[in-house]
Structure 1
Amino acid sequence: MRIDLTGRTALVTGSSQGIGLAVARGLASAGAAVVLCARSEDRLRAAAEGIDGEVGGGVRWVAADITTADGTARLVQEVPEVDVLVNNLGIFGAADPFAIDDDEWRRYFETNVLTAVRLTRHYLPGMAERGWGRVQYVSSDSAVVTPAEMIHYGVTKTALLGVHRGFAKAVAGTGVTVNSVLAGPTHTGGVEEFVRQLVPGDLPWEEAQRRFVREHRPQSLLQRLIEPEEIANMCCYLASPLASATTGAAVRVDGGYVDAIVP
């Protein structure tokens, strides 16, 4: 299969590092004109230069805090239309469930859910009018298997499944698809820090990640952390014309973590 996104514009949020950066690189490799978005200008510049150096394509970037309405307004002013929207921005972290106060719950919902809702509300109608578009939400296995050490994160990822399904129905029959990607435990900088929180001692990274998966994610059939590029491969497929019949779906790239025989 050849994924060709030539002539399409793709916006990826939280794309200066980790999964978002891998998705942006993959979309650019497929020919899309990619727009990166995150808060740090320095990281965005470095990410854009890295992608340009690897695949070319003149990657653009917008530094904006889209957890706020003002930041979102700035982004959509600079990028009024896109063909592909990948809502990747998200935060996570271990916390005592009884110590998570209202403000922290609100922060997680603002970041993990409402940023995606605001951008979908802006870009999706234009896609429907043009008769083609792709909206994705990078969700998590935690949407289905809520982790006891980060309930607030899991609940926000569950919410995204309802968001994607509802918006998919709102544009039924238009040629636009709306899906979520259930990403399993993935090797990113943030996850390395998370693993170090849960796995004591100064173990070498390979040993530490194996112990983390064995002790804290024993359901994984992969028995290792997923690499960001493996998540990006699915996102790029869903962004392509090849995935025209997949919509309203929660597609798993979880290493078999969710113990189910249907998606």
Structure 2
Amino acid sequence: MIIDFSGRRVLVTGSTSGIGFATAKGFLAAGASVVVNGRSEVGVAAAVAWLRETQSSVTGFAGDLATETDCARLLAEQPDFDIVVNNLGIYEPRDFFDTPDSEWDRFFQTNVMSGVRLSRAYAAGMSKRGWGRIVFVSSESAINIPADMIHYGFTKTAQLAISRGLAKRLAGTGVTVNAVLPGPTLSDGVADMLKADVERTGDSLEKVAADFVAVNRSSSIIRRPATVEEVANMILYVGSEQASATTGAALRVDGGVVESLA
């Protein structure tokens, strides 16, 4: 299968590192023009500079897309995209009884409303052109709600509801909407979290990460975290022409963590 995004304009939110960066890199390698996004000018500039070493059709947008203001600014600067990957997200373990309203709202605005606003902004143009792809990067935590991050799991479940409902709303337009559900993934953030254990044990990052999965996600079938590239591969597929019959779906890249046949 040859996936070609030549002529396609792509937005990947939260893409200066981790899954988002790997996704932006994959789209560029397949011929797309990509806008990468992060909150800081420095982070965006660094990501763009790195990607331009091999691909020239990349630009950046520095802004907090959890806010209405920066979403509107992006729309003014970039009025059309063929593919929108709603990857922006935050997570943090916190006990339910220690999670104030402000944190529930911060997670909701970042993980949910950013995708709502951008999908609302760009789906109409996709529909008029008769082709488009919207991808929400959710999580296996949308199904396996973590007891130590209920506020996070709630936002990831909300993404599934939105992606399914929006797919129905765009029925027959040529625009597909899907959710991708990563499981444990060896992103930059996870690597930072495990750094102390790597230093303490002297083991490789990969070994420490596999041990972490064995303890915290014991149902994993691959018995290791996914790489960011493995998650990006699924995002690229559902963004492609080849995935034209896949819409309203929740596609897991969880290494078999979720105990479900479907």
> What TM-score range do you get, normalising by the shorter chain?
over 0.9
Aligned residue pair count: 260
Partner AA of 1:90 in structure 2: G
- Superposed, 1:1-263 pairs within 5 Å as 1-54=1-54, 56-195=55-194, 202-203=200-201, 204=203, 205-262=205-262
SS in 2 for 1:86: strand
Alpha-carbon separation, structure 2, partners of 1:195 and 1:163: 33
Structure 1 residue 196, shift from structure 2 partner:
6.1
Q: 1:149 to 1:192 in 2, by over 3 A?
A: farther
Q: Matched residue of 1:85: which SS?
A: strand
String of CA shifts for 1:57-77, please: whole Å, max 9, x gaps.
320111011111111111111
Structure 2 SS opposite 1:173: coil
Cα 1:97–1:201 change in 2 (3 A) is farther
Deviates more, 1:95-104 or 1:241-250: 95-104
Unaligned runs of 5+ in 2: none
**Alpha-carbon separation, structure 1, partners of 2:99 and 2:37:** 28
Instruction: Please give the root-mean-square deviation of Cα atoms over the aligned residues, in Å.
Output: 1.5
Q: Tell me how far 1:195 sits from its aligned partner.
A: 4.5
Q: Name the CA shift for 1:107/1:200 in 2 (closer, same or farther; >3 Å).
A: farther
TM-score using structure 2 length? 0.95
Once residues 193 and 176 of structure 2 are traced to their aligned partners in structure 1, the CA distance between those partners, rounded to angstroms, is 33
C-alpha contact (below 8 Å) 2:28/2:57 kept by paired residues: no
My pick for the range that moved more, 143-152 or 79-88, is 143-152
Q: Provide the secondary structure at the position in 2 that maps to 1:114.
A: helix
TM-score between the two structures when normalised by the length of structure 1:
0.95
Deviations 1:183-226 (CA, angstroms, capped at 9, x unpaired): 111111212344469x7982333342122111111111111111
**Alignment CA distance shift 1:196-1:217 (3 Å):** farther
Check 1:45–1:256 CA distance in 2 against 1; reply closer, same or farther (3 A cut).
Answer: same
Task: Measure the CA separation in 2 of the matches of 1:31 and 1:124.
Answer: 22
Structure 1, unmatched stretches of 5+, are: none
**Mapped contact 1:94–1:194 kept (Cα < 8 A):** no
Q: Give SS of 2:200's match.
A: coil
Cα pair distance change 1:152/1:105, threshold 3 Å: same
Conservation of the 8 A alpha-carbon contact between 1:89 and 1:111: yes
What is the distance in 2 between the residues matched to 1:166 and 1:207?
40
SS at match of 1:149: coil
CA contact (8 A) 2:32 2:57 kept: no
- Tell me the SS of whatever aligns to 1:80: coil
- Distance (Å, rounded) in 1 between the aligned partners of 2:200 and 2:145: 28
